[in-house]
Amino acid sequence: MRGRTQATLVAVVGAVLSLVIPPLSHLSGATIGLVTLRNGAKEGLFIMVALGIVVALIGSMSSLDGGLVQAYVIGMVLLSVPVLIAAMVLRVTRSLGQALTVIAVMAALLVLLANMLLGDAAAWWRALLDTVMAPALNEAQLSTQEASEMLDGMARMMTGLVAAVLLYSTMINLSLARWFQGMLYNPGGFQQEFHALFLDKRVAIAAALVGVAGMVFAGQGGISQDLMILVVALFSIHGLALVHGVIGITGMGRGWLIALYVGLLIVPPHIAMMLAMVGYIDCWVDFRGRLRKKSEGIDQQNRDNPPRQDELDELDDDTSRDDRSDDDRSDDERR
């Protein structure tokens, strides 16, 4: 946070290295988010534009195809816009739940825009997948019918999957930005915010309507199915925050978190669906609020009913007798 030059340098390094190590692209997004959280939207916008210009200049001096460089720069800048907006919301509201809701709205707008501009989005993805996956399908030695059915199924889900990736990617960038800010100015602040992440009931109602539409038009693809994929992604993040929060309140071991993340690596769709289910239920039940009230009630009861002096004296006498017994046994052993 020393200045514009340093922030731009970090963002550029992350963007360039992401060509070799893709996860490092989050460093660029997190830098834009951090600058926005700390200094406002104007400074975040400056870093985003400077990042695009510097990367474009580097690309023009490289041996890479000009069209590829242009597509990469445009894509990188466009992916930075949701981070900038989400960081602005978080800066004002100080609520990760509200920031996540805004990210989900932007991802939903992407779904609607894609279906409006492409007309038949599934057909557009089908043509693209035919070109991109043809070599892999040939190596897999699938029959023509099997390959066609697989591509048809993928094409119907691609718009929703892209929206879900946008949601996850933006939330990762924003979380990293908030974590960096916490380490610099408020140690432990991000953990408290993430443990308290909560989606409003109105979001749950909207999700229920999307779910009904998804069941009505099941198997037909289209906007309802795309939004249903996005809803699962949205509430899986709520569910993940719920698990972290419950473990933090109850003091359970970190082994539960390790098991959860191992499951996410092995069978991500199944774990994400499970997290989405518990996250959606939590919108109505508020498990963390109930646990906090129960914990606070126990603490208050202990404060209202402290141990009596005679109980403390009796405990001291028992401890003294136990100590003497141990000393006697030690003497006998020495003899």
pLDDT digits over 242-262, tens only? 999 999 998 888 899 999 999
Could you give the 3-state DSSP secondary structure of residue 199?
A: coil
Tell me the pLDDT band of 16, cut-offs 50, 70 and 90: confident
Identify whether the C-beta of residue 24 lies closer than 8 Å to the C-beta of residue 7: no
Identify whether the C-beta of residue 276 lies closer than 8 Å to the C-beta of residue 289: no
Q: Which pLDDT belongs to residue 64?
A: 61
Q: Which pLDDT belongs to residue 125?
A: 87
Could you give the 3-state DSSP secondary structure of residue 143?
A: coil
Pick the more confident residue, 276 or 115: 276
CA distance linking residue 312 with residue 314, whole number of Å: 5
% residues pLDDT > 90 (the chain): 46
Q: DSSP states of 276-302 as a string? A: HHHHHHHHHH-HHHHHHHHHHHHHHHH
- 173-231: per-residue pLDDT in tens? 999 999 999 998 888 889 999 999 999 999 999 999 988 887 776 655 678 889 999 99
Q: Which pLDDT belongs to residue 72?
A: 74
Q: Which pLDDT belongs to residue 335?
A: 47
Identify whether the C-beta of residue 74 lies closer than 8 Å to the C-beta of residue 61: no
CA distance linking residue 223 with residue 138, whole number of Å: 31
CA-based R_g, the chain, Å: 27
CA distance linking residue 203 with residue 274, whole number of Å: 18
CA distance linking residue 112 with residue 256, whole number of Å: 38
Token digits of residue 82: 């949701």
Where b means 16+ CB within 10 Å and e means fewer, 213-251 reads: bbeeeeeebbbbbbbbbbbbbbbbbbbbbbbbbbbbbee
Could you give the 3-state DSSP secondary structure of residue 129?
A: helix
Pick the more confident residue, 306 or 323: 306
Determine the longest span between alpha carbons in the chain, in angstroms.
95
Predicted confidence (pLDDT) at residue 286 exceeds the cutoff of 80: yes
Residue 83 CA to its chain's centroid (Å): 13
Pick the more confident residue, 171 or 329: 171
Q: Which pLDDT belongs to residue 217?
A: 67
- What is the identity of the amino acid at 75? G
Identify whether the C-beta of residue 80 lies closer than 8 Å to the C-beta of residue 59: no
N residues, the chain? 335
Residue 65 region by backbone torsions, left for phi larger than 0, else alpha for psi between -120 and 50, else beta:
beta
Helix 66-93 × helix 96-118 angle, to 10°: 140
Q: Which pLDDT belongs to residue 3?
A: 79
- 117-174: per-residue pLDDT in tens? 888 888 888 888 888 777 777 776 777 777 778 888 888 889 999 999 999 999 999 9
Predicted confidence (pLDDT) at residue 327 exceeds the cutoff of 70: no
CA distance linking residue 110 with residue 165, whole number of Å: 12
Q: What is the DSSP letter of 23?
A: G
Tell me the pTM: 0.84
Predicted confidence (pLDDT) at residue 34 exceeds the cutoff of 90: yes
Pick the more confident residue, 18 or 280: 280
- 44-86: per-residue pLDDT in tens? 999 998 888 888 787 777 666 656 666 777 777 778 899 999 9
